[in-house]
Chain A
Amino acid sequence: MNESVVSQTVSTAARTQELVYELKVEQVMDRHVITVTPENTLEDVRGLLREHGISGMPVMEGEGLVGVVSMQDVVQSLVEGRDKEPVKRWMSLNPVTLYADELLIHGVQKFDRYRYGRFPVIDRETRNLVGILTKGNLIRGLLRRLEADFEEQEIRRYRPSDWFSELDSDETSVGLRYFVQGSDFQRAGEASSKMKQNLRKLGIPPEAARRITIASYEAEMNMVIFTEGGQLITSIEPAKVTVTALDRGPGIPDVELAMKPGYSTAPDWVRELGFGAGMGLPNIKNCSDEMKLESKVGEGTNLQFAVFI
């Protein structure tokens, strides 16, 4: 292992330790709890354990938690030939529980102290069962959070306001250009998809990235459906993202009419693909803060839209 891997592992371990002091039980617990009643048999329990791939479950009498029954109880009851007996004879009473709003560290400590496989989670005020915490939930929850942290870090590294300010110019913009093929339905959407990934990488806020790429996707579909192809040109500036959709024709005869929601000249086969309902241009307008459409029949269309960030 080289040094950077070691230091990264150490920092991940340190971060994991921090996380158990940051996260609450309710953020990682499983809210979907399989329960049994005291009157169910151990045979029922065995069926449920197998069906849901779990190793134990809370025992509920009405709304109240009265015990926990586990795989161990099932195995022991089988050994003794008593698996037709009700759960109430086998369950562990006075189960150790966690509160939903407790810090995860308390869960970790309880796993250490009691060696149980799971802890029912209850609401501090209502005392109702709201979830269950297993070691699996715990590990998955931590991993999920670490992954999210990592992504956040990656994005922060590129935050446009940071690197933009380092570039010495009177005006700075970054351009991304995508070529779109007319009538290529298999790939229709690919350009906007790539654009979205890049905008996220560049640290554009998610809601702005979402709006600009929904608009861009509609523009891309229009290009594939109606034209012989063209380009999507994205320009990223410190305060806004602009997309210019340029195509090589045939052009829109009546721009005002084309902007009307529901107006479409798309043939039926386009509708079968889920488009051509006359919502493309109106959607682009709704998603963007600025929009400009110029078109000349026989020459092509120049559609420009922008979202402020």
Chain B
Amino acid sequence: MRAACQKTAEAQHERSSMTLREIIETLHATVILNKVGNNVVVERGRAADLMSDVLARIKPGALLLTGLTTPQSIYTAEMADAVVVCYVRGKKPGEETLRLAEKKKMVLISTSLPMYESCGRLYQRGLKGGSET
């Protein structure tokens, strides 16, 4: 019954972006920090543990999936105009990273899923990557 009840209206439409709320649902993610609300729209996804790889291709409005929890994960997201950082494999950022994210009003979530599955689930829901139009 639940599944039928919660069918979202937008699933009826072809689209490539996702709201934060849908991403959280899809990844069974927990919210670490969010000062902007669950209706933030993410245009595409980007996943890497190497920050230079992220910076080489990322487009604005992205979700950054990474296993790296240093302050540089936040700086990288900021430079690249990413809107959400999702730590995979259940990783949680330290104090320093949290403080920085708070200052930058970055949204942080965490999922216990590994990188591959996180990407797979989001892609299945229609979230495109950086090389797609």
Contact B75 A189 (CB under 8 A): yes
Shortest A186–chain B CB gap in Å is 6
Question: A17 an interface residue at 8 Å Cβ cutoff?
Answer: no
Question: B132 an interface residue at 8 Å Cβ cutoff?
Answer: no
Contact B60 A129 (CB under 8 A): no
The B91-114 residues at the A interface (CB cut-off 8 A) are 96, 104
User: Considering only CB atoms, which chain B residue lies closest to A126 in the complex?
Assistant: B12
User: Considering only CB atoms, which chain A residue lies closest to B13 in the complex?
Assistant: A130
Contact A286 B56 (CB under 8 A): yes
Contact A279 B56 (CB under 8 A): yes
**Contact mask for chain B residues 36-75; partner A; CB cutoff 8 A; 1 contact, 0 none:** 0101000000000111110110001000001010111111
CA of A60 to CA of B12 in the docked complex: distance in angstroms? 13
Chain A contact-residue range equals 35 or more
Main SS class of interface, B: helix
**Contact mask for chain B residues 104-128; partner A; CB cutoff 8 A; 1 contact, 0 none:** 1000000000000000000000000
For B68, what are the chain A residues with a Cβ–Cβ distance below 8 Å? Answer: 273-274
Contact B19 A210 (CB under 8 A): no
Q: Which of A44, A128, A221 has a CB less than 8 Å from the CB of B5?
A: A44
Known: A35-B5, A273-B70. A206 touches B81 (CB 8 A): yes
Q: Which of A34, A192, A277 has a CB less than 8 Å from the CB of B50?
A: A277
Question: A214 an interface residue at 8 Å Cβ cutoff?
Answer: yes
Known: A31-B19, A218-B52. A196 touches B78 (CB 8 A): yes
CA of A277 to CA of B51 in the docked complex: distance in angstroms? 9
Shortest A227–chain B CB gap in Å is 17
User: Considering only CB atoms, which chain A residue lies closest to B15 in the complex?
Assistant: A31
User: Considering only CB atoms, which chain B residue lies closest to A141 in the complex?
Assistant: B39
For A130, what are the chain B residues with a Cβ–Cβ distance below 8 Å? Answer: 9-10, 12-13
Q: What total of A-B pairs shows CB separation below 8 Å?
A: 120
Contact A283 B56 (CB under 8 A): yes
**Contact mask for chain A residues 204-217; partner B; CB cutoff 8 A; 1 contact, 0 none:** 00100010011001
Contact A274 B10 (CB under 8 A): no
Contact B79 A32 (CB under 8 A): no
The A163-219 residues at the B interface (CB cut-off 8 A) are 185-190, 192-193, 196, 206, 210, 213-214, 217-218
Contact A31 B10 (CB under 8 A): yes
**Contact mask for chain A residues 5-40; partner B; CB cutoff 8 A; 1 contact, 0 none:** 000000000000000000000000011111111001
Contact B6 A34 (CB under 8 A): yes
For B52, what are the chain A residues with a Cβ–Cβ distance below 8 Å? Answer: 218, 274-275, 277, 279-280, 283
Contact A40 B1 (CB under 8 A): yes
Q: Which 3 A-B pairs have the closest CB atoms?
A: A189-B75, A279-B52, A274-B51
**What are 24 inter-chain pairs, A to B, with CB distance below 8 A?**
A32-B8, A32-B22, A32-B39, A35-B6, A36-B5, A44-B5, A63-B12, A128-B9, A140-B37, A140-B39, A186-B96, A189-B75, A189-B79, A190-B75, A192-B75, A192-B79, A193-B75, A214-B80, A218-B55, A221-B72, A274-B49, A274-B51, A274-B70, A274-B72
